Chains A and B, each alone.
Chain A
């Protein structure tokens, strides 16, 4: 199945610093989704990228999909303590019969922010 490597596994930043996490796949991805899980919480869908070279922004978060659709990144500008959590970029493994498929989670990137 599809495997996506995410780096770094851990990142500690001072509040106000920028943060970037990268996802790299050995195969071409049809799309990529990003999720955030806060400590003690559940994953929350952030965004989906579909097009080659796509860039999407959500306030301080910028998501990019590589030209070859094999990598993606999430950049957070001026981190805040509310950004703490683990960020995942799980590929979707398709199922049969028209269903949505399932997410293949890796370890993600765990972000801690020092106030």
Chain B
């Protein structure tokens, strides 16, 4: 079966611009989470969506936002990009319930110049 698909794979943006990243979860997975990975901070949780509602949010500024659609696909948006937003952005999806792990996508590598 298809895995978690993230688009685009690579992105270069200029400071001050905004960016939208997309994530298509595995069919049937309704829980979608986003993570930011940098060499300095490691993997940090951004937000989680379930049934089109944000269920939890990490410690990131309001420039980071997201949403989930009725088909469970999710997007995250970063406005007013800063150099420090350069990172690998990972999306993970999961079935809900004990015993289910998270399946990660390959990520979107964002470079802000």
Judge if A50 is at the interface, Cβ distance under 8 Å: yes
Q: Is B55's CB under 8 angstroms from A96's CB?
A: yes
User: Closest approach, in angstroms, between the C-beta of A69 and any C-beta of chain B?
Assistant: 14
Question: How close is A29's CB to chain B, nearest CB, in angstroms?
Answer: 13
A104 to B96, CA, bound (A): 17
Interface size of B in residues (CB-CB distance below 8 Å): 31
Chain B nearest Cβ from A79, distance in angstroms: 23
B78 within 8 A of A: no
**CB <8 Å contact, A98 and B96:** yes
Residues of A within 8 A of B43 (CB): 43, 88, 90, 103, 105
B106 at the interface (CB under 8 A from A): yes
| Contact A107 B53, CB 8 Å, known A42-B106, A43-B104, A101-B48 | no
Q: What CA separation (Å) do A35 and B90 show in the bound complex?
A: 14
Residues of B within 8 A of A106 (CB): 42
If A50-B98, A50-B99 touch, whether A97 touches B50 (CB-CB below 8 Å) is: yes
Shortest distance in angstroms between B4's beta carbon and chain A's nearest beta carbon?
9
- Which residue, B31, B43, B94, has most C-beta atoms of chain A within 10 A? B43
| Given A95-B48, A99-B48, A105-B44, also A45-B56 (CB < 8 A) | no
A2 within 8 A of partner (CB): no
Q: In the complex, are the beta carbons of A98 and B104 less than 8 A apart? A: no
Q: Are A99 and B104 in contact (CB under 8 A)?
A: no
A95 CA to B49 CA, complexed, in Å: 10
Does B33 touch A at the CB level, under 8 Å? yes
Q: Are A99 and B45 in contact (CB under 8 A)?
A: no
* Beta-carbon contact of A101 and B56 below 8 Å: yes
Residue of B nearest to A105 (CB): B43
The answer, yes or no, to whether B66 is at the interface (CB within 8 Å) is no
In chain B between 28 and 60, which residues have their CB closer than 8 angstroms to a CB of chain A?
A: 31, 33, 35, 42-45, 48-51, 53, 55-56, 58
The 9 A-B pairs of least Cβ separation, nearest first, read A45-B101, A99-B50, A105-B43, A95-B55, A100-B31, A95-B56, A99-B55, A42-B104, A100-B94
